Amino acid sequence: MDGFLDTYHLNASITLGNHHFNENILVAYHTESTNFKKMGGIVGLSFQELARNQNPNFINTLIHEKIIDHYIFAVKLNFKQPDQSFITFGGYDEKFIAKGQRLVYYPIPDHQKEYRLSIRSVEIGDQRLNITEGLLDTGNTCISIPDQYTDHILAEFKTESNHCYFKDERGNTQFKILECLVRNFDELPLLHIHMHDQTLTISKEHYLDKCHPKDEGSHYKCSTLLENVKNRYEIFLGDTFFLNYYAVFDLEQRRIGLVKNNDIPTLKYIILDK
């Protein structure tokens, strides 16, 4: 976590199918965080090799109990609208894929134990950033870009109508969040992630968080879901990325599928009246 949280200690006896084990669990029941939205729960979906012990993880237990057949899960996230986030175990659901779009798979290198993908480059507007690796991270609300590109980002967001700046995140000095004073929303740039055979695009409808009117509505003060991060070389593709893309994690074949999801981008939940 990146902020302040309260916890309590729980000693639990856990049964999954025929497996029984005791665990000491530290439970977070209240958190004040700048980098994460409100949590609804935790399911461990990382590689089994990263587990603290070798007890079967959640998906392995589903397979062992013959509830699902394959070590695959698929994620559709939309934290801006109620009841629009889904996870499918054992495969994926075609109804979440935008009409006419094709699922494209990318390999996870054999040595990797994280959900990392090779990319060609990243563009914000006309600014090309020499970033060649992306980390899919559903534990992060934002899209995080190495801070060496701060000037490139600010140059692209600056227009006659708009001005943006990076602000320290409370409780976490590694990240700075992008905030903007916006008079013309049409001038906000697109974020392009160039893969080897397709381009993934994030627009203002995805990366704007909340915009409040200022000076009787002459402009808006907007928080965004874009941030810079110190001492990293990759782009972190957090929940903001998943607002536009459906992801299929196929760990049997060590690959990740990405495709445009069926949500329609809108500023309805972003631009506020007060």
Number of H helices, E strands in the chain: 4, 19
Assess whether pLDDT exceeds 80 at residue 114: yes
In a domain, 39, yes or no: no
- 73: domain range? 68-260
Neighbours of 219 (CB within 10 A): 18
User: Which comes out higher in pLDDT, residue 272 or 236?
Assistant: 236
User: Which comes out higher in pLDDT, residue 44 or 253?
Assistant: 253
In a domain, 246, yes or no: yes
Please report which confidence band the pLDDT of residue 46 belongs to, taking 50, 70 and 90 as the band edges: confident
Q: For a pLDDT cut of 70, what percent of the chain falls above it?
A: 84
Mean pLDDT of 237-253: 96
Assess whether pLDDT exceeds 60 at residue 256: yes
In a domain, 266, yes or no: no
Assess whether pLDDT exceeds 70 at residue 193: yes
Neighbours of 9 (CB within 10 A): 8
Name residue, tokens 């439970």: 27
User: Alpha helix (H) ranges present in the chain?
Assistant: 58-64, 150-157, 204-207, 239-242
In a domain, 13, yes or no: no
Neighbours of 241 (CB within 10 A): 27
Beta bridge partners of 124: 127, 191
- CATH number, domain of 158, equals 2.40.70.10
The whole-number pLDDT of residue 139 equals 83
In a domain, 20, yes or no: no
> 64 in helix, strand or coil?
helix
Assess whether pLDDT exceeds 60 at residue 268: yes
In a domain, 74, yes or no: yes
Residue in 74, 78, 72, 73 with CA at minimum distance from that of residue 262: 78
Structure tokens at 258: 């990405």
Report how many domains make up the chain: 1
The whole-number pLDDT of residue 35 equals 46
Mean pLDDT of 257-267: 92
Assess whether pLDDT exceeds 80 at residue 26: no
The structure's pTM equals 0.82
In a domain, 26, yes or no: no
In a domain, 82, yes or no: yes
Distance, CA of 30 to CA of 178 (rounded, Å): 25
